[in-house]
Amino acid sequence: MADLESLPATVFVHATADVEGGARVGADTKVWHLAHIRSTARVGAGCVIGRNVFVDADVVVGDLVKIQNNVSVYKGVTLEDEVFVGPCVVFTNDLRPRAQAPDWQITATLVRKGASIGANATIVCGVEIGSYAMVAAGSVVTKDVAPYQLVAGNPARPRGWVDASGRVVSRDSEKPPTP
């Protein structure tokens, strides 16, 4: 358990959460039941880290991010500001997982500002989810998602475009709407 006195006074850490010493957690962030933040992780200001969330070593979480219950954010994942991660989302960080892999290398994943990832989605490592993109619940993302693009399915495919508030503005999956 971290020395909670080293965190900003406005950080809330539930008694059952584990924030390891050295972890950086921004002001006004709430860390709920059974969450675990590793010592070299950085979590921004104004975030909500839900029940049973794991934030691995060297992960970067921006400001005003909401990570719902039962999500593991593994090393190699970066969540920029204002990202929403729904319950039970899965991030991977290994393209060729093996129990014994001495030459294992992390494959990075980047989720850009304002993007939303629906419940139970799986994000296969090595992708970039663009700013304000929307990943539908249950989707399996295997390719990059463009800014403001709506994707759904397994594998996730373009289904349209959303605005910054998440409203669908076009069902044309090929080209974004003109402003």
User: b vs e for 11-22, b when ≥16 Cβ sit within 10 Å of the residue's Cβ?
Assistant: bebeeebbbeee
Predicted confidence (pLDDT) per residue in 22-49, tens digit: 999 999 999 999 999 999 999 999 999 9
- Closest to 176 (Cα-Cα) out of 128, 134, 119: 134
Predicted confidence (pLDDT) per residue in 75-133, tens digit: 999 999 999 999 999 999 999 999 999 999 999 999 999 999 999 999 999 999 999 99
pLDDT recorded at residue 135: 98
The tokens of 77 are what? 């994942």
Q: In whole angstroms, give the CA distance from residue 152 to residue 132.
A: 15
Predicted confidence (pLDDT) per residue in 122-172, tens digit: 999 999 999 999 999 999 999 999 999 999 999 999 999 999 999 999 998
User: b vs e for 39-50, b when ≥16 Cβ sit within 10 Å of the residue's Cβ?
Assistant: eebbbbbbbbbb
pLDDT recorded at residue 126: 98
Question: Is the separation of the CB atoms in 124 and 92 below 8 Å?
Answer: yes
- Give the contacts of 51 (CB within 8 A, at least 6 positions apart): 32, 33, 34, 35, 69, 70
pLDDT recorded at residue 177: 72
Residue given tokens 């503005």 in the structure block = 169
Decide: pTM greater than 0.85: yes
